[in-house]
Amino acid sequence: MSRFLLVVPPLTGHVAPLRAVAAELVGRGHDVAWCGPEPTTSELTRAGRVYAAGDALDFAVERRPEGLRGFAALKYLWEQYLVPLADAMVPGVEKAVAAFRPDVVIADQQAFAGALVSSRRALPWVTSASTSTELGDPLGAMPKIAAWVDGLQEGLRTRHGVSCGDLRFSPDLILAFTTISLTGPIADVGAVRFVGPALAPAPPVGFSWDRLDGRPLVLATLGTANAALGRRFLAECVDALAGMPDVQGLVVDPTGELLSDEVLVVKRIPQAEVVRKAVAVICHGGHNTVSETLASGLPLVIAPIRDDQSMLAQQVEAAGAGLRLRFDRVKAPDIRATVTEVLTEPAYAAAAARVRASFAAAGGVVAAADHLESLPR
């Protein structure tokens, strides 16, 4: 038996794959504990043993200013989120390591505190890459921005008394919850192990399945963190799908403000189950939604909002498994035309099926746990 400490930020998409891995490890007889900002970490993991590391309210994604794009979004992410999050989490991670005495720390790629504390204590640590954004060196063509990011990391290492390398990448093992069929070739694979998505069961959500009328189902969702920002786009989706009588549109509007007689509009859904009944998905490019959709072999229409979503949309397009739209400009006729194209052109479904096959072959949570068990202690 080994003891694994999972260090995570208070972000649903980053916790979700590790929940599935944690369940697999527990099933194999290992001891697992979590560490992250509270109370969100307990809410997201639904785990019995959670060590607090910071106040989640200070790092709620809803506090991020709307409308940030390009370098402004990257600057905010690093200066106002990732670096302060690391500083705030380090004391709690230190206490968790001292109390739990893990053999291995598994640190989400955006929870630098896990890498900092592990390096300071000479503990083996693993990177959980819940999204593939960083794997392809997106700043390689922008040396000044890359140097700026390196400087921020150097400041973290100096403040916390460590001399390790890039905090985003463990030198021993990086679990990438995707496959090369989606990311495309990676120049320096190194310690990266592509295991495909780790899809954990979601909390039960009530849904009236009898409201599905038997027509091909097209789902539109922007996840849980974009409620206010996504209202205009979701309204355009309602109008677009209302003009497609041969399909049934299902739009998830967490605000409950949108109304339609032609389209089914709900506040919440059991997403994985609904996706399995759909023929296509419109989304913002969140990694979990993209993974769930492609794991079902469905084509995507993606309107990225921020962060890694633009790169994921690019990967989906390059793989031939979907098309991309402009989130802040697209209108209903464009959405309708794009959905029609991915539904009527067989190449999109065929490409999505190829990605699905690569996901299945990668091994998912079983492969992730195998890699963790084989890590030298």
Residue-wise pLDDT tens digits, 3-40: 999 999 999 889 989 999 999 999 999 999 999 999 99
Find the length of the chain. 377
d(CA 34, CA 19): 10
CA dihedral 235, 214, 321, 243 (to 10 degrees): -40
- For the chain, domain boundaries: 3-172, 209-360
The mean of the pLDDT values for the chain is: 91
Q: Fold match between 3-172 and 209-360?
A: yes
Measured from the Cβ of residue 231, the count of other Cβ atoms closer than 10 Å reads: 16
Q: Which amino acid is at 200?
A: A
Residue 21 burial (C-beta neighbours within 10 Å; 0-12, 13-18, 19+): buried
In sequence order, the β-bridge partners of residue 193 are 175
b/e per residue, 282-300, with b = 16+ CB within 10 A? bbbbbbbbbbbbbbbbbbb
Superfamily of domain 209-360, CATH level 4: Glycogen Phosphorylase B; (3.40.50.2000)
Q: In what order do the strands lie in the sheet with 217-220?
A: 264-266, 248-252, 217-220, 278-283, 300-302, 322-324
Q: What is the mean pLDDT of residues 352-362?
A: 97
Q: Which amino acid is at 324?
A: R
Residue 51 pLDDT > 90: yes
Residue 61 pLDDT > 80: no
Superfamily of domain 3-172, CATH level 4: Glycogen Phosphorylase B; (3.40.50.2000)
d(CA 60, CA 9): 10
pTM given for the model: 0.89
Model pLDDT, residue 72 = 78
Query: Between these two residues, 279 and 308, which has the higher pLDDT value?
Result: 279
Q: Tens of pLDDT along 98-145?
A: 999 999 999 999 999 999 999 999 999 999 998 887 776 666 667 888
Residue 146 is encoded by which pair of tokens?
């890359």
Q: Which long-range contacts (CB under 8 A, 24 or more apart) does 320-329 make?
A: 320/347, 320/348, 320/350, 320/351, 321/182, 321/294, 321/348, 321/351, 321/352, 321/354, 321/355, 322/348, 322/352, 323/348, 325/301, 327/233, 327/284, 327/303, 328/233
Residue 93 is encoded by which pair of tokens?
């991670």
Q: Which amino acid is at 70?
A: G
Phi first, then psi, for residue 279 (nearest 5°) are: -115, -15
